[in-house]
Amino acid sequence: MEIINTIKDYWNRQPCNILHGKSLQGTKEWYNEVKNKKYFVESHVPKFANFPAYKNKNVLEIGCGIGTDALEFARHGANYTGIDISSVSVNITKQGFKIFDLKGDIFECDARSLPRFDKKFDLVYSCGVLHHFPESDKTIDQIYNLLKNDGTFKFLVYAKNSWKYAMIQAGLDQYEAQDNCPYAVAYTNEEIHNLIGDKFNIEKIEQNHCFMYNIPKYKQNIFELQPWFAAMSEEMREAVSTKLGWHLMVTASKK
């Protein structure tokens, strides 16, 4: 499928968050800079992932990217497996595991057709990935088959009922920091139920994350709020994030 090759090329050219680190790419300093910046701006992600809860548990990540969450699962003792369609991302993640002397299995593959694993998983986790890939129903089928009966499926996708989606629809923003993202969709809560509801019980849907910073300064690691957000109280900014945030975080279990 031509769109799949386009998606691969796009994420190989600039994997998500690869510019967060200012040190030499592939060093411990660089990985730590990437992590610190990501979790400063998206502090809801480590809370959602709940890395400590998966010590000695089998974790499969669909779309490991450059390995920020992957390294945290492994640091907290998970039996980690990760896949990604981007060969560049897979290599960066593998390098991170090597540098930090962590154990994990990372594969380059299409989420619609996962490898044959010799185990099932306590957690299947996917952060910011499913909305960038077509035929998501095939991926959901794969996840269902690989998850233990008492396992948990956690994933984060983009929200239609959000500040950012409104700006995209008005032509004032785009899905990703880099231009020309080849495939991206956003979901309502109802569409999440339609996507997975025949196979999974949805236990929780949370919403968070409205990017509020001046972008040129953000690229220099200066976290200055845009003036319209700076004019709001902290309580108002929190309300925007949790009611109109860009991220829908879904926790589900097998039916």
pLDDT at 14 (0 to 100): 92
Instruction: Taking residues 213-233, report their average pLDDT.
Output: 96
> In the predicted model, is pLDDT for residue 10 greater than 80?
yes
pLDDT digit string (tens) for 224-238? 999 999 999 999 999
Greatest alpha-carbon pair distance for the chain in Å reads 54
Q: Please tell me the predicted confidence (pLDDT) of residue 114.
A: 87
Beta-carbon neighbour count of residue 103 at 10 Å?
10
- What does the pLDDT read at residue 116? 86
pLDDT above 70 coverage of the chain, percent: 100
User: What pTM was estimated for this model as a whole?
Assistant: 0.96
Q: What is the 3-state secondary structure (H, E, C) of 52-76?
A: HHHCCCEEEEECCCCCHHHHHHHHC
What is the mean pLDDT of the segment spanning 213-218?
95
Q: Whole-number mean pLDDT of the chain?
A: 96
pLDDT of residue 1: 64
- How confident is the model at residue 115, as a pLDDT? 85
Residue 113 scores a pLDDT above 90 = no
Q: Quick one: pLDDT at residue 2? A: 86
pLDDT, residue 201, reads 98
Q: What is the pLDDT of residues 184-202, one digit of tens each?
A: 999 999 999 999 999 999 9
